[in-house]
Amino acid sequence: MRDKIIDIINDAIHIKEEILHNQIENIIKAAKLIIACYKAKGKVLIFGNGGSAADAQHIAAEFVGRFQKERPGLAAISLNTNTSILTAVSNDYGYEIVFARQVEALGESGDVAIGISTSGKAKNVIMGIKKAREMGLKTICLSGGAGGELSKAAELSFIVPSPVTARIQEAHITIGHIICELVEDELFRVSSK
């Protein structure tokens, strides 16, 4: 067990080092997109399946509640949380469009859509991002492995270089937390006199 634990932690460290060396500019770009969205009174729509759904809820909660600063709430919606919408749209139209339909209903030009899929192959996430682009939303994706079709559909893509779902999800939350902190710092900067 000890060796297994060491291997897992070393793998997680290696992936974070990859992000450190290769994703800083993308993190800055993502934060700037979201900052501009909020300055224009827009909102962030976030969505994914399974563990990525939990990550979408987590990031939305950080924006709406708070991350580290006491401040007003920021508009963010996790599109995988309304079971009535998910089941109605899935039943009536098919699960592939559950996010695209919500983007169509809730999204506006200038908003930001964030799609999360560890494989980058989730059809419903891809369709949600494509609908967002079609409507003039800014699009960001978090994926892993080779990035899948999702990484090509979004304007800004984070591809975590790992085939291991757990390591990808850990990195997605790290990226999400960094973006939340940057957004909060920029929008709620305390001026010193």
Q: How far apart are CA 45 and CA 56, in angstroms?
A: 9
Full DSSP string of 78-125: ETT--HHHHHHHHHHT-GGGHHHHHHHHH--TT-EEEEE-SSS--HHH
Q: What is the 3-state secondary structure (H, E, C) of 20-48?
A: HHHCHHHHHHHHHHHHHHHHCCCCEEEEE
- What is residue 49's DSSP assignment? S
**Of 108, 87, 109, 107, the residue nearest 98 (C-alpha):** 87
Quote the pTM value.
0.95
Tokens of 169: 């999800």
The answer to the question of residue 193 being in a domain is no
Each residue's pLDDT, cut to its tens digit, for the chain (193 residues) gives 999 999 999 999 999 999 999 999 999 999 999 999 999 999 999 999 999 999 999 999 999 999 999 999 999 999 999 999 999 999 999 999 999 999 999 999 999 999 999 999 999 999 999 999 999 999 999 999 999 999 999 999 999 999 999 999 999 999 999 999 999 999 998 654 4
Q: How far apart are CA 170 and CA 123, in angstroms?
A: 22
Report whether 141 contacts 156 (CB < 8 A).
yes
48, 86, 159, 167 from 143: Cα distances, Å: 10, 22, 5, 11
The answer to the question of residue 192 being in a domain is no
Q: Please give the tally of structural domains in the chain.
A: 1
Please give the residue range of the domain that contains residue 107: 2-187
- Taken in order 166, 179, 34, 43, is the CA torsion positive or negative? positive
**Of 87, 38, 82, the residue nearest 56 (C-alpha):** 82
The answer to the question of residue 177 being in a domain is yes
The answer to the question of residue 167 being in a domain is yes
Q: Which CATH number fits the domain that encloses residue 91?
A: 3.40.50.10490
Q: How far apart are CA 17 and CA 113, in angstroms?
A: 26
